[in-house]
Amino acid sequence: MFRAGASQGSRITILIYLLFVIQLVSMGAMEMSGPFWPVYLRGLTTSDSLFSFASIAVYVGPMLGIMLTSTLWGRIGDRYGHKLMMIRALAGLSLTQLGLALSNDIAVILLLRFIQGACAGYIAPAQAYGVSIETPARRARLFAILQISTNVGSLLGAVVGGLILDYTNFFWINISAAVICAICTVVAALTLPDVAPVKKTLPATEQAVAPQNLWRNKHMLSLLGVMGILLLARMLPQTSFSLYVSSIFEVNNSIVGLCYGLLAMGFILSATAWSRHFEHLSKADTLKRISYVVIACAVLTALAGMTRQPLLFIAAYFVWGVLLGATTPVLMALISKTADNTQQGHVLGIAQSISQFASIAGICVGGLLSQIYGLQYIYYFVAIAYCIAMLPILALRYWPTMTAPEQVSPSKQAP
């Protein structure tokens, strides 16, 4: 890990913002197609059952690939360096987007989307690389910055994708993404310095909680559970979003893309401020305030489901994004601090796998609920999911063993 010092601190800041830019551009390229896969797939088949399956699988495929491989890539990164894993992920995104641009067969598209997740999975190694160069005290801010980059990309990518689809066709969305990810691969390889993996220097009894003991750590398991339920709630409207907005509010693709990106914009504007707010709070106070945020999300998404006014829906989506800035970065920082510095790739890979599992569950359940009950009720189910998320949060707050002090990283232990 880089050491303290004025010049070294400036270098670390530059590297963090370089990570920010690379992640922003590459994730933005991927999000250009995000809201519009159901629209594209609808034109490839006349079968309602095949369309229903494909519109779910096209989102689930890459998530399943990431879920199955993220821990493996994390362990490899811990051993050989996380920069290599970032380059591997960006190259995988570029190649699979090229394949998607050249294919119009649903089966091939779904296979490529799965391979895209299995070979890519960029976010976890980027987080682990950031952890390896940033100080532990600023870890929540690091996760906020990296997630802001993803959400800026989501905002810009969705709007640009809508504009491309309005004036050309889906081929140009995917081919543009392939070129952009290839450029990001080269930039990461040439500009980011190699960071040697952290070596284990302490006896096993002095190590922080290691990944192999994760399933025995009730505190970490509960944090992962809360994060998973919150992500599930967020993903419930994913498959139906573009169809919901276009059918309920009767707007064009550009407005659909803008609405899709407003959640990201709210997150962008709030995440860093939230991370500073939570940085010096105890775990008990952090969980108490997160519970207030979750209750507000439940009320807000119920309001989004009730309204038939486009401007009110847009405002609700924006405020929802502001509230989400207080959830995942804070929870990820707590999870990261619980693990030893030699195992960050592994632990963050596990967290990424669980996040993808939760997202898959949210997409599948959301698609099923939309089919059974209709598009117009999906946001009520989101509100219900947030209410369910309160259960593990309350367990964390009021179960004494859950609020035990954080594990101390090797860098903080006494010699």
Q: How many CB atoms lie within 10 A of CB 191?
A: 12
Overall CATH class of domain 6-193+208-403: mainly alpha
Each residue's pLDDT, cut to its tens digit, for the chain (415 residues) gives 444 444 666 788 888 889 999 999 998 999 898 878 888 888 888 888 888 888 888 888 888 888 888 888 888 888 888 889 999 999 999 999 999 999 889 999 999 999 998 887 788 888 888 888 877 767 778 888 888 888 778 778 888 888 888 888 889 999 999 999 999 999 999 998 887 776 655 444 444 444 445 556 677 778 888 889 999 999 899 878 878 888 888 777 777 777 777 887 788 888 888 888 887 777 778 888 899 999 999 999 999 999 888 888 888 989 998 999 888 888 887 777 766 666 667 777 888 888 888 888 888 898 889 888 888 889 999 999 999 988 888 887 776 544 444 444 444 333 3
Closest CA to 380 of 306, 322, 295, 294: 306
pTM > 0.75: no
Please give the distance of CA 402 from its chain centroid, rounded to a whole number.
25
Domain range summary for the chain, segments of one domain joined by +:
6-193+208-403
Pinpoint the alpha helices (H) of 307-410: 310-324, 328-338, 344-373, 378-398
∠ at Cα 354 (348, 160), nearest 5°? 85
Q: Which residues contact 379 (CB under 8 A, 6 or more apart)?
A: 237, 301, 302, 304, 305
CA distance 154 to 263: 9
> Are 171 and 278 within 8 A, CB to CB?
no
Closest CA to 241 of 328, 366, 149, 148: 366
DSSP string of 319-337, one letter each residue? HHHHHHTTTHHHHHHHHHH
SS3 at position 209: strand
Q: Which residues contact 299 (CB under 8 A, 6 or more apart)?
A: 383
